[in-house]
Amino acid sequence: MGDFHQSGEITTLHRFGDRDIGKLESEIKKHSRSRPIALVLPTIFSELEGTALPKIVNELKDVKYLRQIIVALGRFNKNQFNYARKFFSVLPQDVKLIWNDGNRIKKLYKLLDDENVSAGADGKGRSAWLSYGYVLASENSKVIVLHDCDVQTYSREFLARLCYPVVNHNLDFEFCKGYYSRITDRMHGRVTRLYVTPLLRALRRLLGDLDFLKYMDSFRYPLAGEFSMIADLARVNRIPGDWGLEVGAAEIYRNCSKRRICQVGICETYEHKHQPLSEEDITTGLMKMSIDITKTLFTTLASTGITFNDGFFRTLRITYLRTAQAFIERYENDSAINGLYFDRHLETKAVEAFTNGLKIAGDQFLENPSGTPLIPNWSRVTSAIPDFFEKLIDAVEGDNK
> pLDDT tens digit string along 114-137?
999 999 888 888 999 999 999 999
The residues spanned by each domain of the chain are 11-400
Number of residues that make up the chain:
401
Segment among 4-8, 215-219, 304-308 with least mean pLDDT: 4-8
213: left (phi > 0), else alpha (psi -120 to 50), else beta? alpha
Q: DSSP labels for 214-231?
A: HHHHT-SSTT---EEEEH
Q: Residues of 45-54 as b/e, b for ≥16 C-beta within 10 angstroms? A: bebbebebbe
The predicted model scores a pTM of: 0.94
Query: pLDDT, tens digit, for every residue of 134-169?
Result: 999 999 999 999 999 999 999 999 999 999 999 999
Round to whole Å and give the CA distance between 36 and 305.
39
Round to whole Å and give the CA distance between 204 and 214.
8
Please give the mean pLDDT across all residues of the chain: 93
Query: pLDDT, tens digit, for every residue of 283-326?
Result: 778 998 899 889 989 988 998 899 999 999 999 999 999 999 99
Q: Which residues contact 329 (CB under 8 A, 6 or more apart)?
A: none
Query: For residue 224, which amino acid is it?
Result: A
Q: Which CATH number describes the domain made up of 11-400?
A: 3.90.550.10
Q: How far is CA 231 from CA 40, 228, 365, 382, in A?
A: 12, 9, 32, 15
